[in-house]
Structure formats: structure tokens, C-alpha cells
Amino acid sequence: MNLIKTLKTTSINGEKIMKICSNTSCVNEEAPVHTLAQELTNNKVPALGVLSSTGKLAGIIVSRTLFELLAKPYGRDLLFRKTASEVMIKPRTFIYDEYISDVHEHLKEDFFLDEIQHYALIDSKKNFKGIFSSKDLLLHIAAVQHQETLITEKIQKKIIPPFLSYETDSFSLVSSSVMSQRIGGDYYHVKKIDSNRIFFCLCDISGKGMSAAILTAVLAGFMKTITYINDLHSIVQNLNNLIMESCSLEKYATGVFCIINETDNTLEYCDMGHGLFYEVRNNSIRQIQENSDNVPAGVMKLDSIISKKITMDSNSVYIILSDGITEQQNENAAVFPLETIPNIIAKNTDDLKKMKIDFFESFFLFKKSPLEEPR
């Protein structure tokens, strides 16, 4: 005669905690421990509910804990003289139709415990519905986050193209993005303002992962809907206000915002706490300025914004990087040598697309097989 019974799983719609419950095994509280131990071994049940004579939840027995007790010097006494009610424990309980997200909030601290924890599910009348574990919950959350990441990745690929090229009679502009993780907070945008002016920017949202990706989508929507007839100050000012209103100081964005004017061959730029803006000329690379003139967008309200102008010539190449390049290290903990960039540019002065390919090939080669540090 089997003491362990398996209840029919209660079906439920939505993201409710019963969804992750795959264990509905239970036993009567009067069941003898020696028979129960044998059945637990045979059935390989990690935990089971203990029911009172009225069918209500009285407690649970965790197989691991029970066998640890039986291994004690007094284990033989437990094995042959005790019943389930005397070796059970009182678990944390949850109503079976609670939302998984709410249960997760209650159990966050338990995820740091060394051992898997087990919890009981009941209905409003304390009838036993099943058991789930901290492992079950973590696996479910991981699966949900993975699915959300896949969806966000698809969205990001639409709003941040992996490659963009723009050319006029007087200059060429190439942009490219390769995420080090599946999603992230790097963003670039190019927009023709009128027949003589081109706006472009590269931004880096603080943080990583999903939260940065969400703000990137907000930023992309802003860039696609604003009016670019205003000056660079107005564009950046409006962006600053948007991030402050959306994130309440929890997030910010560094970035370099530029307008190229083909009429006078100038590049006006506004550096918002970014700094990774370089000029390559005559086979040498220099940082246009070490310290940004402005704080990152979203940090504080700005009464004024500083911008500067550069007069371009046919021998100049300007590069804006995200910290995804400058913070990467190889196996020797060396950072990517920016001094290699002029050599890449020198080989591809007439083909920016090829220049971009060579740049990324050099970067990934550096990651896989460490380059010698330049002297």
C-alpha cells in the first residue's frame, strides 16, 4: 500500500505561482516514518505535504532533512517509533493563485541560502495544493528573463542598426554597433536636418542589461520625433529634460552630439560627460578634450550647455567610441590600444566601410589573442 499520494494539479491561468508547481505529493500525518522513508527513496520525491485528518495542510517533509535526521544517533528511534507529524516542519505558505512576481519579492533573501528551500501552496481554506522550491522559482524567472531578453534584442536591432553609412560630396559618415552582451545601453543616431546640415550622436546609457535597453528605446523614440531645426543646445536640453522626467535620477546618458555644416565645413559638438571623441590626422590620434564641458544628460537641470566648433579639412577623421571599446580587456588585462587606430585608418582612407571592418577585426583579434602593448 502506497502512503504517498499525488493530487491532481490545479489548473490556473496567468503568471500565478501554481504554474511552477510540479510536486503535489502528500501523506497523512499518521504515516509511520519507516514506511514513509522507504517510499521517499523509491519515488525520489524531494518534499511532500503532510495532511491532517481533515485534509488540511499540517506541514511538509523535506526528504534531505528527514534522511539527515535518520542518520543521527537517535535516528533508529525516529525510524520505527515516530509518525510523519513528528518529523514534519512548518513551511512558509502561499495562496496558490498569488502572482509569481509577488512571491518572488517575498523570497528574494532565500536565494542566497546554500540549500534549496521548499514552500507549500494552499487555498483560502488551507487545503494543500502543492509544493514548489526556490530552485523552481529561480528557473522560471531565468526562463522569463531569457525570453524578455530575446524580445528586447529584436527591438534593439530595429532601432540600432548594426551598420549605417551616410555620404555627401564633402564627407562620409559610418556608424556601427556590436553588443558585447545581447542587449545594452549604447545608441547612435544620424539625421539630415536640411540640405547643408547633418546631425549625429553616440550615447551610452548608464548601467547594463534590460534597464539600459529600455531607456535606449525611449531615447530612440525621442530622436525620431524631435524637431531638428533648432540649434544643438536645444536638442540636448530637451534630451536632458526627457531623461530626468523618465528616470528620476536613476539613469543618465553620456554622449557626444554633433552637427556638421557643409556650408562652412564645420563640426559643432556638445560633449555630455562622454569624452571618447578623437581626431586622427597625419597618422596620429589625439583626444579632442580630456574632460567634458558638460555633465551627463539626466543628472541635473541645465541652465546652459557648452558646445564647441571644429573646422574640418580633407585629411581629418573623427571617431566617437563607446566605453564598450575602451573598457574591454584581453587575457592579460590590457586595454585595447587606441594607438592602433591611425594605422587602420591609413590603410583605408578611401573606404570607410572597409575601415570599420578592419577596426572591429583588430578589436576582436585583440580580445582573443592579446596584442603587444604599444611602446
- Helix, strand, or coil here: 170? coil
Letter string b/e over residues 79-114, b meaning 16 or more CB atoms within 10 A of that residue's CB: beeebbbebbeebeebbbbeebeebeeebeebeeee
Instruction: Report residue 372's pLDDT band, with 50, 70 and 90 as the boundaries.
Output: very low
Is the pLDDT reported for residue 107 higher than 70? yes
Mean pLDDT for the chain overall:
82
Give the distance, in angstroms, between the CA of residue 190 and the centroid of all CA atoms in the same chain: 26
For 5-141, the fitting CATH number among 3.40.50.2300, 3.90.380.10, 3.40.50.1380, 3.10.580.10 is: 3.10.580.10
3-state secondary structure (DSSP) of residue 43: helix
Distance in angstroms (rounded) separating the CA atoms of residues 278 and 257: 14
pLDDT value for 260: 92
> What is the pLDDT at residue 374?
36
pLDDT at 199: 92
Per-residue model confidence (pLDDT) at position 124: 92
How buried is residue 200: exposed, middle or buried, by Cβ count under 10 Å (0-12/13-18/19+)?
buried
Domains 5-141 and 160-327 share a fold: no
Class of domain 160-327: alpha beta
Contact yes or no for 262/274 (Cβ under 8 A): no
pLDDT in tens, 158-212: 777 767 778 888 888 888 776 666 666 788 888 888 888 999 999 888 877 777 7
Alpha-carbon distance 56 to 123, whole Å?
10
Q: Please give the pLDDT value at position 183.
A: 67
pLDDT at 349 over 70: no
Q: Across the chain, which distance is largest between two alpha carbons, in Å?
A: 96
Question: Domain boundaries in the chain?
Answer: 5-141, 160-327
Give Rg (Cα) of the chain: 31
d(CA 301, CA 315) in angstroms, rounded, equals 38
Nearest to 343 by CA among 325, 355, 329: 355
SS3 166: strand
